[in-house]
Amino acid sequence: MKAMVWTAYGPPEVLQLQEVAAPTPGENEVLVKIHATTVTAGDCELRGLKLPLWLLLLLRTYAGWRRPRRIPILGQELAGEITAVGSAVTRFQVGDQVFSTTGTRFGAYAEQQCLPADGVLTHKPAHVSYAAAACLPVGGLEAAFFLGRADLQPGQQVLINGAGGSIGTLAIQLARRLGAQVTAVDSAEKLEMLRRIGAHHVVDYAREDVTRTGRTYDVILDVVGKLSYTWAVRALTPTGVYLIANPRLFHLIRRRWTSLISHKRIVCWENRSGSAELRLLQTLAELAATGEIQPVIDRTYPLEQLADAHRYVEAGHKQGNVVITMPGDN
């Protein structure tokens, strides 16, 4: 089968199209013929080692110090069709259309992948395209998790910083669905799209400093982790929640002090069980099936042009999601 192999740490050119052996499912695995995957900012950060020091050390220790031996193929989310099942699999059958996050296996930049049948894998709604379904796992799970931890209520004020990416665009729609008033912050070229998907207020960070408006918020979701921590805590209402989707080490340290001296809550990344992730993914599938959420797709590239897609995402211009299709798929 064809796959884009991660041959080294570095620029997009390290992604090389190669023929690799097709996988065979174990007794509790399914084999998925992939129709669509995506390029996330996280994929680009991993490829180029543009990570905080502590994550950088963990990645190189796990994947390989000089080159990524343990993770030969990147790609974190996919949608496709099951073509084989292991002997112990009862939840799925051949022909099922599914979508999934690959977790620490990665591997979605390939024509096929084996996934655990009891993992974060669920059926794709019939009227949702493979491309749209592939955009749900990473951004959708993060958005749903963080807003769920905020216990968002109708009428509350929500600020989303870095709202134009895969997490932010779904977070806007989920927050609107819960009745919140959403202020979305991103670059000028993304503002019209943010209005279109439901943001009540939009802010071009290059023209307006959101930290100087004097407004307060019940919930602040910082997707990119670049807001001033001191400002964000001060801008919260007395029982507000600060959600940090891309935390740095100092966030993890300072949040404990904040919780001791106030009723404000700071939520960073947390380890979540597979069953909890699966329930969230199934909820996202239901919302996509009814049209209550619709992933934003900016561009689509064939697998052969994956390096070009990485360059585009890395430049920071992505609006919502960039989709990758497999050979033979539109």
Calculate mean pLDDT across residues 195-208: 96
Calculate mean pLDDT across residues 269-285: 89
Supply the angle between the helices 137-150 and 166-177 in degrees, to the nearest 10. Answer: 50
pLDDT band (50, 70, 90) for residue 249: low
Task: Classify burial at 283, counting beta carbons within 10 Å of its beta carbon; exposed 0-12, middle 13-18, buried 19 or more.
Answer: middle
pLDDT at residue 51, as a whole number: 83
Please determine whether the domains at 2-135+295-325 and 138-267 fall in the same fold group of CATH.
no
**What is the rounded average pLDDT for all residues in the chain?**
93
Calculate mean pLDDT across residues 225-243: 92
The whole-angstrom separation of Cα 140 and Cα 293 is 10
| Three-class DSSP category at 252 | helix
pLDDT band (50, 70, 90) for residue 315: very high
CATH number at 2-135+295-325: 3.90.180.10
The whole-angstrom separation of Cα 153 and Cα 147 is 10
- Token pair 């939840």: residue: 91
At 19, which amino acid appears?
E
pLDDT digits (tens, 9 = 90+) for 66-122: 999 999 999 999 999 999 999 999 999 999 999 999 988 899 999 999 999 999 999
Task: Considering the domain delimited by 138-267, tell me its CATH architecture.
Answer: 3-Layer(aba) Sandwich (3.40)
- The neighbouring-strand residues paired with 145 are none
Q: What is the token pair recorded at 174?
A: 């989920």
pLDDT at residue 253, as a whole number: 64
DSSP string covering 75-99, please?
A: --EEEEEEEEE-TT--S--TT-EEE
pLDDT band (50, 70, 90) for residue 241: very high
CB atoms within 10 A of CB 145: 20
Annotated domain spans of the chain? 2-135+295-325, 138-267
pLDDT digits (tens, 9 = 90+) for 132-188: 999 999 999 999 999 999 999 999 999 999 999 999 999 999 999 999 999 999 999
